[in-house]
Chain A
Amino acid sequence: MSEIGQRAVGTEEDDATGVAEQSFTVPTDLDVDLLPMYLTESRELLDGAEGSLLALEDDPTNADAVRDLFRCFHSLKGNSAYFGLTPIATLAHDAEDLLSGVRDGRRRFDTRCAGLSLACVDTLRAFLESLEGVTPGDTLTCPAGTAGLLRALAQEADPDASPLNEAKTELPTNVGVAAGSAPDPEPEEAPVGKDPAGGEAARNRIVPSVRVPTPRLDRLLEILEELVISQAMVNQNEAVRSRKHPALTRQLSHISKIVRELHDLGMTIRTVPLGRLFQSTRRLARDLAHKCGKKVRVECLGEETEIDRSMVDALGDPLMHLVRNCLDHGLETPADRRAAHKDEFGTLRLSARSSGGKVIITLSDDGRGLNREAILRKALQRGLVDAASVPSDQEVFNLIFEPGFSTSAVVTDISGRGVGMDVVRSTVESLGGRVTLHSEPGRGTSFDLVLPLTLALTEGMLVRVEDRRYVIPTADIVTCVNPSPEDLVDGAGNRAATLNVQGTQMPLLWLSELFALGPGVEEPIVLVLRDLDRRFALVVDDLIGQHQLVTKPLGEVVGRVRGIAGGAILPDGAVGLIIDVQALLSIPRGGATESVPTAA
């Protein structure tokens, strides 16, 4: 994710004269205890500025965006001046000047203006980066390109703009991060311990909030999980189940309700809205489009959808790669698009929605779609496909995820990590999710990233096969039937491959067979399970009972096991394996092959 911030967009501002960058000294009276807070808040200000800039690019008349933008640079200038970080304050001031021209109607927010402003954001981010862990009195070099940027900004400045010297004395002296009187609180959060509503009645979208160190939050959530499990164990206790003590049962039921509510609240603490991730992706798309000479409009939907904060970082690279892929290969040049009677501007849509215990992120374009022949040819070349086979369109498209398919070591701005489609898939899978794709020639391609909401309390049915216990998520169970033994064998006396359940013929699977467990009992129970719109029947020995459980991944050392979604602590303290219903159908008969541990 940090890659995006580090890349200065405005390459047209590169300092071609080779002038060395200035250096600056970190003030000797810098309060290092306050520095982290300054850095965090400044980064948030810059994120806000970037968002407003992108919005302005789409709609140069957006007055709100200009105001927000101004506020961001102004606050950053003030805070930086307070700490004596002059170069930062100066750059922020120059950016303010540039934008004041837009705000006052003296100039349009054109491409040059956008490029310069975004270059300011990038350079300021680089400044902040260089301040990490610094000691008062240190001498640092300004980030590459600063001198060129300052010159370019000076060139753009209105003739009657105040000279730099004057500007310095104008800087407010009572603005400070810790002074508790920042006149322009950032869009997201107010400093700790101050009245956030003071003087900002108009900004009614600011919700008072506090900063909590993440480890403390994580610990809180861990304890919450233990509480959920303990409470489940209490409910399992004979004395409770026997219902001999109505008052006790009632009181425990009340506790259950409270715990449930606490859990739901905990889930909201764990999650963050996808908006931040989308913004970075949007920024990347814009930059890449400029580089490849393509025109793209980015639409974002469902930015308020929340996912577990631990996943946000991991998703950065895969999304970046998908965007790059879309702009390099998916979208046609404006000329080609015109020839195909399409809008010159291609559309890249990023959307997110939650459904059940999952979040689905979709990235789609209206470009040329995947080229079946080209993919098949490359796959044959790399021996990924048998020359004699005739795969379906979907099977061909899915080949792009095979390791060995991606072109090796493509030198890209994503810094030669050799990120390919296979890494996109393996990253999503390591988060417990999956990637699917759809494509139509001439119409476009879309990728769906389906991710689990961790810390979700899954309702599961505990089943038994031999001496092993497994959990099947209740949401995936349609019904349960008790067939007679004859229904389970075919004419030749072998295990039947299908079963007729209430009039529908559906595939029949034995859990004991899938996990190589043994023969199973004479009179088993059959569960009818669903995976999207597919139905199938699963044979188990016995049903034990329903439980609420917290799903956990099995750990990198174990890796991904086909058919197992994760583990959960059962009420008796043992670990139960949770079945991944969607994957059961893809396990070959006779058992799955060995698990593939996730990357070392």
Chain B
Amino acid sequence: MTAVVARTSSDIEKFLTAYVGEEAYGIGVECIRQIIRTLPVTPIPSTPSYVLGVANVRGKVTPIVSLRAKLGLPEAEPGRWSCIVVVETSRGLTGIQVERVSEVVSLETDRIQAFPELHTTFDRAMVRGALHRDDGLFLVLDIDELLRTNR
């Protein structure tokens, strides 16, 4: 459960770096339960395109969503390094499919700035903030908002 905790400006938060295409996104580690390479996913009829289906994660029937689809990006082949990041929120366990994961980064909370872009292919509430890094923009995701089921 991602707890809302009062943070002082010198707080450090850790994020897993996940890639969709060339863009890097941060997922807070406190909500990550597992990272799985691949998994048979059972598709479900008549669900939004970002719902890939359900899968058996440690004996639990777990919904799997596609980060790419949630970001409103065009479909693409999953790729060799794609994996599923299993997170736990107030909605239970959910698997988020991403194309690649790399290191866990530690960031000072006050380095995360407001996300500037006004025109996005996705709901802005999903991004908590942004950070400029040498290799580009790092978008910190709000997992609760990401999994929020709006249109």
Contacts A555-B63, A557-B63, A574-B56 known; list 9 others, CB within 8 Å.
Answer: A516-B46, A517-B45, A554-B44, A558-B51, A561-B47, A575-B42, A577-B44, A592-B45, A594-B47
Within 8 A of A (CB), among B57-85: 59-63, 65
A557 touches B51 (CB 8 A): yes
Q: For residue B121, which residues in chain A have a CB less than 8 angstroms away from its CB?
A: none
Q: For residue B149, which residues in chain A have a CB less than 8 angstroms away from its CB?
A: 556-557, 559, 597-598, 600
Interface string of A549-573 (1 = CB under 8 A from B): 0001111111101111011110001
Within 8 A of B (CB), among A161-179: none
A561 touches B48 (CB 8 A): no
A564 and B42 CA atoms in complex are apart in Å by: 13
The answer to whether residues A576 and B42 also contact, given A554-B54, A555-B61 and a CB cut-off of 8 A, is yes
Q: For residue B43, which residues in chain A have a CB less than 8 angstroms away from its CB?
A: 468
Q: Which of B56, B92, B93 contacts A575 (CB 8 A)?
A: B56
The answer to whether residues A225 and B59 also contact, given A554-B54, A595-B47 and a CB cut-off of 8 A, is yes
A568 and B56 CA atoms in complex are apart in Å by: 9
- Residue numbers of B with Cβ under 8 A of A are 40, 42-48, 51, 53-56, 59-63, 65, 91-94, 147-150
Q: Which of B55, B56, B59, B65 contacts A557 (CB 8 A)?
A: B65
Which of B55, B60, B61 has the most chain A CB atoms inside 10 A of its CB? B61
Within 8 A of B (CB), among A230-267: none
Which of B40, B42, B148 has the most chain A CB atoms inside 10 A of its CB? B42
A591 touches B54 (CB 8 A): no
Q: For residue A401, which residues in chain B have a CB less than 8 angstroms away from its CB?
A: none
B45 touches A574 (CB 8 A): no
A561 and B93 CA atoms in complex are apart in Å by: 18
A554 touches B63 (CB 8 A): yes
Q: For residue A591, which residues in chain B have a CB less than 8 angstroms away from its CB?
A: 45-46
Which of A517, A555, A563, A569 has the most chain B CB atoms inside 10 A of its CB? A555
A594 touches B48 (CB 8 A): yes
A564 touches B56 (CB 8 A): no
B56 touches A573 (CB 8 A): yes
> Measured between C-beta atoms, what is the minimum distance from B8 to chain A in Å?
24
Q: For residue B47, which residues in chain A have a CB less than 8 angstroms away from its CB?
A: 558-559, 561, 594-595
A327 and B109 CA atoms in complex are apart in Å by: 53
Q: Which of A552, A553, A558 contacts B44 (CB 8 A)?
A: A558
Q: For residue B93, which residues in chain A have a CB less than 8 angstroms away from its CB?
A: 555
Give B50's nearest chain A residue, CB to CB.
Answer: A557
B45 touches A557 (CB 8 A): no
B147 touches A557 (CB 8 A): yes
Nearest first, the 6 A-B pairs at minimum CB distance are A597-B149, A515-B45, A567-B61, A555-B63, A552-B61, A600-B148
B91 touches A575 (CB 8 A): no
11 A–B contacts, CB within 8 A, in A order:
A225-B59, A229-B59, A553-B61, A555-B61, A555-B63, A556-B149, A557-B94, A563-B45, A574-B56, A575-B55, A592-B46
A169 and B91 CA atoms in complex are apart in Å by: 53
Give A563's nearest chain B residue, CB to CB.
Answer: B45
A594 and B92 CA atoms in complex are apart in Å by: 22
A544 and B144 CA atoms in complex are apart in Å by: 39
Q: For residue A557, which residues in chain B have a CB less than 8 angstroms away from its CB?
A: 51, 63, 65, 91, 94, 147, 149
Q: For residue A229, which residues in chain B have a CB less than 8 angstroms away from its CB?
A: 59
A561 touches B44 (CB 8 A): yes
Q: For residue A564, which residues in chain B have a CB less than 8 angstroms away from its CB?
A: 44-45
Which of A574, A576, A592 has the most chain B CB atoms inside 10 A of its CB? A574
A566 and B44 CA atoms in complex are apart in Å by: 10
> Measured between C-beta atoms, what is the minimum distance from A215 to chain B in Å?
14
Q: Which of B59, B61, B148 contacts A566 (CB 8 A)?
A: B61
A229 and B56 CA atoms in complex are apart in Å by: 12
A553 and B91 CA atoms in complex are apart in Å by: 12
A341 and B84 CA atoms in complex are apart in Å by: 67
A591 and B54 CA atoms in complex are apart in Å by: 20
Q: For residue B61, which residues in chain A have a CB less than 8 angstroms away from its CB?
A: 552-555, 566-569, 575
A555 touches B42 (CB 8 A): no
> Measured between C-beta atoms, what is the minimum distance from A232 to chain B in Å?
12
Give B48's nearest chain A residue, CB to CB.
Answer: A594
Q: For residue A225, which residues in chain B have a CB less than 8 angstroms away from its CB?
A: 59
Interface string of A527-559 (1 = CB under 8 A from B): 000000000000000000000000011111111
Q: For residue A561, which residues in chain B have a CB less than 8 angstroms away from its CB?
A: 44-47
A38 and B40 CA atoms in complex are apart in Å by: 49
Give A556's nearest chain B residue, CB to CB.
Answer: B91
A574 touches B40 (CB 8 A): yes
Give B53's nearest chain A residue, CB to CB.
Answer: A575
> Measured between C-beta atoms, what is the minimum distance from B97 to chain A in Å?
13
Q: Which of B42, B51, B92 contacts A577 (CB 8 A)?
A: B42
> Measured between C-beta atoms, what is the minimum distance from B86 to chain A in Å?
12
Which of B40, B48, B147, B149 has the most chain A CB atoms inside 10 A of its CB? B149
Q: For residue A559, which residues in chain B have a CB less than 8 angstroms away from its CB?
A: 47, 149
> Measured between C-beta atoms, what is the minimum distance from B120 to chain A in Å?
19
Within 8 A of B (CB), among A574-600: 574-577, 591-595, 597-598, 600
Give B91's nearest chain A residue, CB to CB.
Answer: A556
**CB of A226 within 8 Å of the partner chain:** yes
> Measured between C-beta atoms, what is the minimum distance from B93 to chain A in Å?
8
